[in-house]
Structure 1
Amino acid sequence: MSFYEDLAAALDAEGIESRVNDDTLFVPISSGVEIQFDVTNELLPAANIYIAAAPEPGDGETIPDADEEEFEAVLVSAVFSVDAAVDAVLDHMATDAIVDLVDELVTDPDGRFGDLQFTAVEGEPIMVRSPAADNSELDIVIDIVDGEPTATVTLTTFDPDLESLLDDQLNGVDSPVDDEVIEELIACFLAEGLILPEQTMGLGTYTDFSRLLTVMPFIAEHVAEWEEDLTNTADDYDALFGDIGENWSLEDDGDDLEDFDLDGDDSEGKSIR
């Protein structure tokens, strides 16, 4: 059997369609993207892999069908076995699925997510985040787990006093403040009993991204209710262990917070300028 025949059979076993035309094997992975294999050595075997994207349609134009061969191909890698070729297809399909999900969450083209407005968070793994209700954030972490793209959704609720405390500490600071400084300030607030610990609620792990998009409107509708319940959980913690903030204030005991040079004038403090 030829390399293409072996590869087509292996892809078919994974439930992935392919076709051969003019000495090239095509694997469509979305309406506008396909993978192309070009064998360079049948005996070795060796094949170049191209990612081909349909050109953006202009006004009044439609995306060309794959059969029209108007895709613009870019060489991305080479493989030397059928197994490596299948792995490459699965990796590219996973990447395409993640890109599509992030785009759907950030743009919300159908307006299904209510007041949620997701933005991408820099770093690894891929994450999108939206403010939720009054004092919460909804995080969706997207990663490849055991070769399968997976999204994990978490609602995190913060102490209602956190924002005002941060505003007080950062008042008059004109330069940008990085996340590390914010995290250290929050740690100080917690250590000094000024705020209660954040509360988290898992909202599922999804390998079926269509299912995630189906439940997102329900999540958007119920985040305020969940925030209230999580806040009550924090109040229950306070009732069990006492009002941990009643004997503390920034004026009474601010040793940790004084370590921060918020104005950039204290050579011994941590400057955020």
Structure 2
Amino acid sequence: MSFFEQIAAALDREGIESRVNDDTLFVPITSDLEVQFVTIDEDIPAAEVYVAAADVDDEDDEFEAVLVSAVFSVEDAVAAVAHHVATDQVVGLLRTLLDGDDDRIADLEFEQDPEEATLVTSEVGTSSLVQVLVTAHNNEPSAHVRFISQDANLDDIVDQAIAEFWDSDTETVLTDDDRRKMFADLYSDIQTLRNEVLTLGTFKDFDKLMDVLALVVDRAEEWEDQLAPVDDGYAEYIYSDHVASLDGDDDDDDDDDLYDDGDYDDEDDEEGDDSE
């Protein structure tokens, strides 16, 4: 069997269609996108991998397939196709979330994170957020969902802490940059402490994901009531901690890490479909 015949047979076992034309193997990913394998050397064997728009006239001068990799085994070829299939599914889900194309999420307005392109967030309920992080580990697209209940009085708490700082007896002289940094750190720390996170699970079935997001909309206000943080003195603790650091009395540089909400860790990325 030729290299292309071996690739085609392996793809067929995965339920993926392909067709050969001269020295090119075409693998449709969607109606608009396809992967093309072009023979480099049959003896090695080797093939270049291109991503191209499907059903484009070969005489179209504006069309150009994009070289993305090269493969030297059947296994690598199948993995390359799986990668592009998974990538297309990730992009498709993100587009659905951002555009609100599904009626079940009509009440949500997702926005893309400026630093993490596959993380989208929408306001929900009175003062909460729902986040969806889309990943494709091992070429298996998954959506990781969590509900974040924010303290509706967060701004008031920060204002109170700042006012208490100005009324304190500290003799520390602050520059404008010092003030901006202190206020930013203070807001971030109190926000982390006053947020309650409900992990909703990891979903590979994106249709079920839409049902879950619709349920989040329905349950958001009730969850906010149940997750509301209690007044346990955390704001005062953070205020005093920042004053101490400005006075040079901060002996524990690792305190911030204790309350760092952070991104989804690797452990979350590996969990199965479940909810808390």
What are the within-5 Å matches in structure 2 for residues 19-168 of structure 1? 19-54=19-54, 66=55, 72-124=64-116, 126-166=118-158
Counterpart code for 1:223: A
Structure with the largest fraction of helix: 2
Q: Cα distance 1:124–1:186, how it changes in 2: closer, same or farther (>3 A)?
A: closer
Q: Who is 1:9 aligned against?
A: 9
What are the within-5 Å matches in structure 2 for residues 210-249 of structure 1? 210-231=207-228, 234=229, 238=230, 243-245=231-233
Counterpart code for 2:112: A
Residues of 1 paired with 2:33 and 2:83: CA distance? 14
Task: In structure 2, list runs of 5 or more residues that go unmatched.
Answer: 164-176, 247-276
Q: Cα distance 1:182–1:216, how it changes in 2: closer, same or farther (>3 A)?
A: same
Aligned: 1:199 with 2:199: no
When normalised by structure 2's length, the TM-score is 0.70
Q: Cα distance 1:200–1:37, how it changes in 2: closer, same or farther (>3 A)?
A: same
Structure with the largest fraction of strand: 1
Q: Cα distance 1:121–1:223, how it changes in 2: closer, same or farther (>3 A)?
A: same
Q: Cα distance 1:180–1:31, how it changes in 2: closer, same or farther (>3 A)?
A: farther
Residues of 2 paired with 1:179 and 1:124: CA distance? 24
CA deviation after TM superposition for structure 1 residue 198, in Å: 2.1
When normalised by structure 1's length, the TM-score is 0.71
Residues of 2 paired with 1:205 and 1:119: CA distance? 20
Q: Who is 2:273 aligned against?
A: none
Counterpart code for 2:216: I
CA deviation after TM superposition for structure 1 residue 123, in Å: 3.4
Is the Cα contact below 8 Å between 2:125 and 2:217 reproduced in 1? no
- Residues 133-152 of structure 1: CA distance to partner in whole angstroms, max 9, x if unpaired? 12211111111233311111
Task: In structure 1, list runs of 5 or more residues that go unmatched.
Answer: 55-65, 262-273
Identify the range of structure 1 (205-214 vs 24-33) with the bigger mean alpha-carbon deviation.
205-214
Residues of 1 paired with 2:136 and 2:14: CA distance? 17
Is the Cα contact below 8 Å between 1:114 and 1:220 reproduced in 2? no
Is the Cα contact below 8 Å between 2:34 and 2:53 reproduced in 1? yes
**CA-atom RMSD, angstroms?**
3.8
- Residues 145-176 of structure 1: CA distance to partner in whole angstroms, max 9, x if unpaired? 333111111001022211334567899xxx9x
| Percent of residue pairs bearing the same amino acid type | 40
